[in-house]
Amino acid sequence: MSTPEHDPVPAFPMKRTCPFAPPDEYRRMRATAPVVRAALPTGAPVWAVTRHAEARQLLSDPRISSNTGRPERPRGPDDDRPDDGFFVDLDPPEHTRFRRLLIPELGARPMEAMRPALQRIADRAVDELLAAGPPADLVALYARRVPSRVLCELFGVPAADHAFFESRLRMLSVTSMDPSVAAQASGDVRGYLRELIGDAPRDPHRGMIRRLAARHLPTGELTTDELINIGFLLLLAGYDSPANTISMGVLTLLRHPAQLAALRADPGLLPGTIEELLRFHSVQDWVSFDRIATDDLEIGSARIRAGDRLTVLAASANRDARAFDNPDDFDIHRPANHHLAFGHGVHQCVGRNLARAELRIAVGTLLTRMPALRLAVTFEELPFAYDAPFFGLHALPVTW
């Protein structure tokens, strides 16, 4: 892919200027074409897919590869090939092999069975928030606490280790990541996952990691390193995104009091509210930041060559007026919300059933039990994480 020197291209990362909207450049790119040239942070050229229909097309096209280890992929000196078990960076059939093993743990049926545990986690976090007394930081005491404890429940982490596990997840958070701190936390978490795997013969049914180890290590379907990386990947995906969606979701509802009142009056609106929050915020701007074309193809008017790199901008696609009426409006009554917050195609988020159940219970429980919840500071005083890969809040001071 070549770009004339006189034709400047937008470069990532592109910063937001409004907490309730994607970067302004996304709107300009989307108006220009469904697929536009851009530059990665390294300066390397990339095709950015900005519109909803073309994003779905690309995400389901087998000629678009997620495998960052493909030999034709342009590589830099610091690029690593995918670790064993990092299935998001693999294509079928390798990707399918890992995904098939996870469906019995993360499908709709096991997530429905997990709902009572999710409710206990949310209720306990509200109890602790109330006990702390106003004003309190909803991010620290609720929005981050619920996902970390959900992951502890999913992984079978004993109660005595919850504080350790939660602290390491906070250290890994990309909202405020310090590379040296994150490296230490990564080693600690991987070591802990190895201990859980080693404990599988003694307690093979407690938590997803032990169950996967007991089922698939003896058969050779998984190796220990693969399972550690699967667990680590699920932790990264299952912490920042729901934590930021909870905090930004609560803030959004507080800023739309009429819709908040409608939701409180009719809890049946909660599932649609969560889908709208996922569309409206898209706390992760892109679905996949670095995919590669394995063959020549056309998307929209763009001629993609084999070897070209592509990124799908979910935050842009989810604001596409061709797919959503009044896309910049927050509307809990929005019908047929086919957003791309969880991606599309074979790489659609494997944890989406858990995410939906967790968000519904976390937001619903908070609003039900704290009817007088409101901001403890002005909106202008809120510290937004504008520079983070997952957009959110550093803190959300509330009172009641």
pLDDT digit string, tens, across residues 272-318: 999 999 999 988 776 666 799 999 999 988 999 999 999 999 999 99
Confidence class of residue 378 from pLDDT cuts 50, 70 and 90?
Answer: very high
pLDDT digits (tens, 9 = 90+) for 24-58: 999 999 999 999 999 998 899 999 999 999 999 99
Query: What pLDDT, on a 0 to 100 scale, did the predictor assign at position 388?
Result: 78
pLDDT digits (tens, 9 = 90+) for 193-224: 999 999 999 999 999 999 999 999 999 999 99
CA nearest 174: which of 352, 389, 21?
Answer: 389
CA nearest 360: which of 258, 233, 268?
Answer: 268
Query: What pLDDT, on a 0 to 100 scale, did the predictor assign at position 9?
Result: 84
State which amino acid sits at residue 1. M
End-to-end CA distance of the chain: 55
Domain 24-399: CATH superfamily, name plus number:
Cytochrome P450 (1.10.630.10)
Q: The whole model's pTM is what?
A: 0.93
Domain extents for the chain? 24-399
pLDDT digits (tens, 9 = 90+) for 122-174: 999 999 999 999 999 999 999 999 999 999 999 999 999 999 999 999 888 86
Q: Which residues of 339-369 are buried (b: 16+ CB within 10 A; e: fewer)?
A: bbbbbbeebebbbbbbbbbbbbbbbbbbbee
Q: How far apart are CA 306 and CA 178, in angstroms?
A: 36
